[in-house]
Structure 1
Amino acid sequence: MKIVRVEAIPFAIPYRKPLKFASGEVHSADHVLVRVHTDEGLTGTAEAPPRPYTYGETQESIVAVIDRIFAPQIMGLTALEREAVHEKLDRTIGNPTAKAAIDMALWDILGQAAGMPVSGLLGGWTDRMRVSHMVGFAPADIMVAEAIRIRETYGITTFKVKVGRQPYTDDVEACRALREALGADVELYIDGNRGWSASESARALREMDGLGLTFAEELCPADDVLGRRWLVARSPIPFIADESATRPAEVTRELLGGSATAISIKTARTGFTASQRVLHACEGLGVEVVMGNQIDGQIGTLCTVTFGAAHRTTSRHAGELSNFLDITDDLLAEPLTIENGTLRIREGAGLGTAIDPDKLARYRQDR
C-alpha cells in the first residue's frame, strides 16, 4: 500500500444562502477534494474545507501545500506508516485541514484493505449519531422559523445557536425566542466565534440564565488570557474551546490553564489520528467533548460521524452533522440522509466516500 500519488482537487458548490457568524460568512463551499493513491490500486478520499478567517488556509494554499510540499514528502511511504507520514507533515507549521485530509484518506485506505468500515477500526461503538443543527445570524423570527423547519423535516432536536453580534442583546433575544418556540425538550447551546469581550459574554450568560443552555463555545478570544479565565471560572455551563484548541497541545493548554472546561473535536482539522489523541486526553482529564463541524460538505460530514460514532465519549452529545443541508449539491455518489434526528455511518469497507465523477467534473475549479 505504498503512496504513489496525492491529488488536491479544488471544487466549489454554492450555498443555498450565506452562512453568517461572528468570525465571517461563507457563500460557497470552496473546498479541496484530497485523494491518496496506492500502488495496489486503493484510493483514500477526504475533504479539506479552508477557513481563512480561522486557520489562515485558503483553497489555493491547501492545493499548493499538498502538491508542492506534502505529496513529495510522503511518496513511497505506506498507509500503515501514519506516524512517519505525520512526522513529515509536521515539519511544516499550520495547514491543519490539509494535514487532516491526508490522514483521513490514509485511514480510508486501511479500511478498504482490511475490508472493514473505518468506524470499526477506530472503535466501533455505534453505527449512528444524533444530529445538532447550526442556526446562523438572522432576525430572531427567521432563526426560530428555521429551527422549527429543521425539527419538523429531519427530527433534529439539538441546535447550536450562533451568537457574538453587537449589541449582545440581539442574541439574548434570539435565544429566548428559540427556547419559547421550541420548548423545554429541545437542546440549545451557543457559539460566539470570539465575537464578544469577556464582560459582554458574562452579561449575556447572566441574561440567558434560565434558558437551559447546554454549552457555551468560544464566546471571547482565547488571546484575552486573563479575561477568558475570569469568564470561564464564572460560567454556569461548560465552556467549549473550539478554534482555540486545534492541536493536542493547545487542548492541554486551554484546559489546564482554566480557559475551557470542554472541547470541540473537528476531524476536518485533526483528522482521525490527532482527534483520537485529543479525545483520549479529554477522557483522561475528565472533560466533555462534542463533535464539531467545519461547515463541511457531505464528505467531511461522513468523516465526522465516522469518528464520532466510533467512541462512547463522542457519542454522548449530538454531533454537528447537518451543515451540508445548506449546500445546493455535493460530490458523493450516494448522498447522506438524516432520519429521525440521526445520521448513520457507511457500513462498507473504508469511509464509503465514493465520488460521483459527473459532479466532480461539474464543480472542480482546476479545469
Structure 2
Amino acid sequence: MQIKSIETYRGAIPLHTPFKTALRTVTVAETIIVKVTCADGIVGWGEAPPTHVITGESLASIDYAIHSIFKPLLIDNPLQMREIIFRKIENSVLRNTSAKAAMDMALYDCIAKQANLPLYQFIGGVQESIETDYTVSVNTPEEMARDAKKYSQNGFSILKIKVGKDQIATDIKRIQTIRNEIGSGIQIRLDANQGWQAKEAVRAIRHMEELGLGIDLIEQPVIARDLEGLKYVTENTDTLIMADESVFSVDDAKRVLEMGAADLINIKLMKSGGIHQAIKIATLAEAYGVECMVGSMIETKVGITAAAHFAASHPNVTRYDLDAPLMLVSDIAIGGISYKNNQIILGNAIGLGIQAIDEKFLVENV
C-alpha cells in the first residue's frame, strides 16, 4: 500500500466562547487538515493547529513542512514499512511537532484502515470509551464559578481550571469561589500554563491544601525549562504535579522521569509529533510508575479523534483532557469520535472513522 498523494487544506471554525489561558486567548480555531491517499484508494486524515506560544508553529510553517519536507520523502513509500516511514518523519526536521503529528495520524488512519480495525484496537484496544474533563477559561472568580457550575450541570464531573494569568492570590480566590459554587462532588484540576514561580507555587499549593479545596492535580506550575523548579514544587507539596510543556519528546520525558521532577506527564500529539512517539513516552513513563494524561491544543475533531484513539489504547493513560471540539460552534470533521456528556465514544468504524471534511469551514486550499 503505497502513499500516492498528500494534500493540505486550511480550516477555521469559531469558538462559541473565547478560550483564555495564561498564555493566550483564542476565538477562532485555525488549523491545517492533511489528507493522505494511498494507491489502493484508502484515505487518511490528520490535523495540525498552529500554537505559536507552545510549539512555535504557524499555518505557513506547518504547510511548508508537510509539502516541502515530508511529501518528497514519503510519496511512493509502502506503508508496510511504517517504522522506516515514521523514522523519516521524525529525523527529517527539528521540532515542527504539530506538522509531524498531522502526518503521523493520517498515516496511522491509513494503516488501521488497511488492517480493517478501529485505530485504538489496532494499536492497543484497551477501552471503547473514555471520560474527558471540561476546561474553565481564566476570568474573574465570579465568571469562572458560573462557568464551572454550568459545565457540572451539563454532566462533567471533572473540571480543568485555568490559572496563572495574574496574582497567585487571585488564583486561590478563583478556586475557592468555584469550589463554593460546585460543591465537593466535582473533581478539580488546575493548569497554571507556566504562570507561577516555584516558591510561590509551593506556598499557594500548601495554602490550597490547608483550605481543603480538593485539588486532584496541578499542571505545569512553572516555566517549561525550569525542571529544577518543577522538581522543587513536586517534592514540597502533597498535590500531584503534572509536567506538560516541559515534555515534548521521549528525551524530555526521560529527563523529567529520571529527576523525579513530576508525578504525572501530559502527552499531547502536537508536542510529541504524533502517535508513534506518544506511545514511546507513555511506555517509558509506565516503566517509572508515572501515569499519563492525554491532552490537546484547540483542535477540531480530526486531531482529537486521533488523540482519543491513542489515549484509549494505552493502559498507562489514566486521565483525559479532550474537550476542544465541544468549544467549537460546529466541527470540520464528518465522523470520528462522538460525545455523550462527559464520555467520548470511539465506535467501531475502521481507522479514525472520519468520513469527510465539511468544506464550509475550509478557508482555502493551502
1:335–1:181 distance in 2 versus 1, CA, 3 Å: farther
What per-residue deviation string (whole Å, max 9, x for no partner) do you get for residues 279-300 of structure 1? 1101110011111121221111
Matched with 1:21 is 21
Matched, 1:243 2:245: yes
Matched with 2:258 is 256
Distance 2:93 2:271 in 1: 15
Of 225, 233, 236, which residue of structure 2 is paired with 1:223?
225
Matched, 1:213 2:198: no
Matched with 1:364 is 363
Matched with 1:130 is 131
What per-residue deviation string (whole Å, max 9, x for no partner) do you get for residues 221-256 of structure 1? 132343332222112122111111011110111121
Question: Given that residues 10 and 63 in structure 1 are in contact (C-alpha distance below 8 angstroms), is that contact kept between their aligned partners in structure 2?
Answer: no
Residue 214 of structure 1: SS of its match in structure 2? strand
Matched with 1:180 is 180
Question: Given that residues 107 and 118 in structure 1 are in contact (C-alpha distance below 8 angstroms), is that contact kept between their aligned partners in structure 2?
Answer: yes
TM-score (normalizing by structure 2): 0.94
Distance 1:332 1:45 in 2: 10
Residue 35 of structure 2: SS of its match in structure 1? strand
Question: Given that residues 3 and 38 in structure 2 are in contact (C-alpha distance below 8 angstroms), is that contact kept between their aligned partners in structure 1?
Answer: yes
Of 249, 266, 269, which residue of structure 2 is paired with 1:267?
269
Distance 1:66 1:348 in 2: 27
Deviation of 1:99 after TM superposition, in Å, equals 0.6
Deviation of 1:361 after TM superposition, in Å, equals 4.5
- Where does structure 1 lack aligned partners over 5 or more consecutive residues? none
Deviation of 1:257 after TM superposition, in Å, equals 2.0
Distance 2:146 2:338 in 1: 21
Distance 2:149 2:82 in 1: 44
1:335–1:105 distance in 2 versus 1, CA, 3 Å: closer
Matched with 1:193 is 193
Distance 1:307 1:225 in 2: 27
Matched with 1:311 is 314
Matched with 2:279 is 276
Q: State the AA in 1 paired with 2:220.
A: E
Question: Given that residues 13 and 332 in structure 2 are in contact (C-alpha distance below 8 angstroms), is that contact kept between their aligned partners in structure 1?
Answer: no
Distance 1:227 1:115 in 2: 47
Matched with 2:289 is 286
Distance 1:335 1:287 in 2: 29
Matched with 1:77 is 77
Q: After superposition, where does 1:29-178 map in structure 2 within 5 Å?
A: 29-89=29-89, 90-153=91-154, 155-178=155-178
Question: Given that residues 242 and 264 in structure 1 are in contact (C-alpha distance below 8 angstroms), is that contact kept between their aligned partners in structure 2?
Answer: yes
TM-score (normalizing by structure 1): 0.94
Question: Given that residues 305 and 336 in structure 2 are in contact (C-alpha distance below 8 angstroms), is that contact kept between their aligned partners in structure 1?
Answer: no
Of 297, 301, 311, which residue of structure 2 is paired with 1:298?
301
- Where does structure 2 lack aligned partners over 5 or more consecutive residues? none
Question: Given that residues 305 and 344 in structure 1 are in contact (C-alpha distance below 8 angstroms), is that contact kept between their aligned partners in structure 2?
Answer: no
Q: State the AA in 2 paired with 1:75.
A: I
Distance 1:206 1:222 in 2: 21
4+ aligned runs moved over 3 Å, structure 1: 334-337
Comparing 92-101 with 219-228, greater Cα deviation is found at 219-228
Q: State the AA in 1 paired with 2:233.
A: L
Deviation of 1:132 after TM superposition, in Å, equals 0.5
What per-residue deviation string (whole Å, max 9, x for no partner) do you get for residues 146-193 of structure 1? 12222222x111011111122111111111122222222211111111
What per-residue deviation string (whole Å, max 9, x for no partner) do you get for residues 288-341 of structure 1? 111112122111121122111122332x33x11212122112112247542242
Residue 338 of structure 1: SS of its match in structure 2? strand
Distance 2:337 2:182 in 1: 26
Question: Given that residues 233 and 241 in structure 2 are in contact (C-alpha distance below 8 angstroms), is that contact kept between their aligned partners in structure 1?
Answer: no
Q: State the AA in 1 paired with 2:40.
A: E
Point out the structure with the larger strand share.
2
